[in-house]
Amino acid sequence: MYKIVLSIVAILLITGFASPREAGAENTAISTRVVYSGNLDGELEPCGCSEAGDLGGILRRASKIAELRKEWPQLFLISSGGLLANASPRDRLKSEYILKGLSAMRYDAVGLQWRDLSYGTAFLDVAPLPWTASNWNGDGVPRQRDIRHGEVEMAFFAWLTPEDSPFRKMKGSHQMVIDDPKPLQRALTEADRKGKLTVLSTTLPLEQAKALFDLKAVDILITKSAYEEYGKPRQEGKTVVLQPGSRGMRLGMLDLEIDERGDIGSWKHRVIPLPNSVPDAPFLKEWYEEYNAKVKAAYLASVEEKKRRQSGQSPYTGADACRDCHQAAYDKWLETPHSRAFARLEEVGKSFDPDCIACHTVGFERPGGYIDSRLTMHLMDVQCESCHGPGRKHMEAKGKEPTPHAHWPREKICRQCHTQPHSPQFDLNSYWPRIAH
């Protein structure tokens, strides 16, 4: 026994207590972690009007990522892109601050989607982000991102689907991407041959991605984002297939064991929600204050413009004018949160944000509708005309002319504001009794 112990000690001394991988042993796995997301879709922060919809936001995401990095400093942080939106004039300012906010989180790689080019390629320079488009036609966007954290090197690729380009129909427009997937396939194969963890980000569903690419060279495939909820991950051969959720409400986390060939040996997946119990990131406090200040300044400028353009009599009267003939309905309204909707905005510091004001006032951004709390105080809150439409003609006709929405079904009336993003659990049968009149 004594001789056996001496032999073991001698072997350990000779090898320098080397790890099995360093000593050339087989089947030695390296652990790593990938945190991923996709399709923020212009959501800088959640609406917060309902508990079910109060998920996500840049401030919470930054806080959670900092927490995860503290647990695992060498994690990979990637996104399939789709960060921006261009649905309203306000989205440009919001997009600017989304880029700045994500830049502060130190992403390793971000796939470029067509929606990210809504304001042109120059707009992407607002803040440094590691954009990637592996079939980009030219040198403007890197085709591959190689990132090393610890013992693992990742090669990140992103396919910008040519058929989805909104620019192709523009006369004389430059072909921004290469249609042929073969160069990307060769790059994937080469990265895989070198033992890198290969990640391919697409906006394609799985079956289309499989038809376009040989997944034998892909360790992780990110497919088209699902709406809000993350899809269930699966394995296709050696490839782990991930489907992010949208609107930034959650993060996905993949813990991996990488074998000696650089392939994924085993993996565990978790979806991390971002409810209001996740604190705001302190290091983004100045960023958020600056954003709100610019939103407020833009709103006040629009108020002045609306004052200059205001003329004639408003088609809206305010709830007090309805009371004379509809006292019971008015009294019921006073008991509901609708009658205090604007105060709620003031409590959370959003009484200057047009995206919030629209559903907490009457007729905002419509002729004669709410402008600001001084000039149009009588149109604050969710009032009768928020649901039934402008009431002046109805009032002047002493009720003989119906309100504009008189023939609308209740569902349509409520859905003006109770949309899926703002009120995901809305159900007419359970909501209507709260305001029945």
Is residue 25 predicted with pLDDT exceeding 90?
no
Q: Which is nearest to 403 in space by CA: 387, 380, 418, 379?
A: 387
Mean pLDDT of 73-83: 97
Is residue 199 predicted with pLDDT exceeding 70?
yes
The Cα-based distances of 189 to 177, 193, 266, 316, 332 in angstroms read 21, 6, 21, 65, 68
CATH superfamily of 315-435: Flavocytochrome C3; Chain A (1.10.1130.10)
Mean pLDDT of 329-337: 94
Distance CA 205, CA 124 (A): 26
Per-residue pLDDT at 167: 78
Distance CA 95, CA 92 (A): 5
Per-residue pLDDT at 174: 59
Distance CA 328, CA 213 (A): 66
- H/E segment holding residue 236: strand 234-236
Per-residue pLDDT at 19: 33
Domains 26-163+173-282 and 315-435 share a fold: no
Residue 395: count other Cβ atoms within 10 Å of its Cβ: 16
CB-CB contact of 75 with 35 (8 Å):
yes
What is the domain partition of the chain in residue ranges?
26-163+173-282, 315-435
**3-class SS at 136?**
strand
Distance CA 45, CA 62 (A): 12
CATH fit for domain 26-163+173-282, picks 3.60.21.10, 3.40.630.10, 3.30.870.10, 3.40.50.1000: 3.60.21.10
The Cα-based distances of 421 to 179, 250, 326, 403, 411 in angstroms read 35, 14, 32, 28, 16
**3-class SS at 280?**
coil
Mean pLDDT of 401-416: 94
Q: Tokens standing for 54?
A: 């109060």
* Confidence tier at 130 by pLDDT (50, 70, 90): very high
**3-class SS at 30?**
strand
| Concatenated DSSP letters of 196-230 | -EEEEE-SS-HHHHHHHS-GGG-SEEE-PPPSSSP
Distance CA 199, CA 34 (A): 10
Q: 220-222 and 239-242 as β-strands: parallel, antiparallel, unpaired?
A: parallel
CB contact burial 295-312 (16+ within 10 A = b; e otherwise): beebbeebbeebeeeeee
pLDDT digits (tens, 9 = 90+) for 38-71: 999 999 999 888 888 899 999 999 999 999 999 9
Rg, C-alpha atoms of the chain? 28
E runs forming strands in 80-224: 109-111, 131-132, 145-149, 152-158, 197-201, 220-222
Q: Which is nearest to 38 in space by CA: 97, 91, 88, 107?
A: 107
Residue 264 CB-half CA count within 13 A: 27
Distance CA 287, CA 274 (A): 19
Q: Which is nearest to 62 in space by CA: 286, 254, 242?
A: 286
**3-class SS at 250?**
strand
Instruction: Among 106-110, 260-264, 412-416, name the most confident range.
Output: 106-110
pLDDT digits (tens, 9 = 90+) for 386-403: 999 999 999 999 999 999
Tell the burial category of 179 from Cβ atoms under 10 Å away from its Cβ (0-12, 13-18, 19+). Answer: exposed
DSSP lists the bridge partners of residue 77 as 35
DSSP lists the bridge partners of residue 296 as none
Q: Tokens standing for 24?
A: 């050339």
Q: Which is nearest to 382 in space by CA: 332, 427, 319, 437?
A: 319
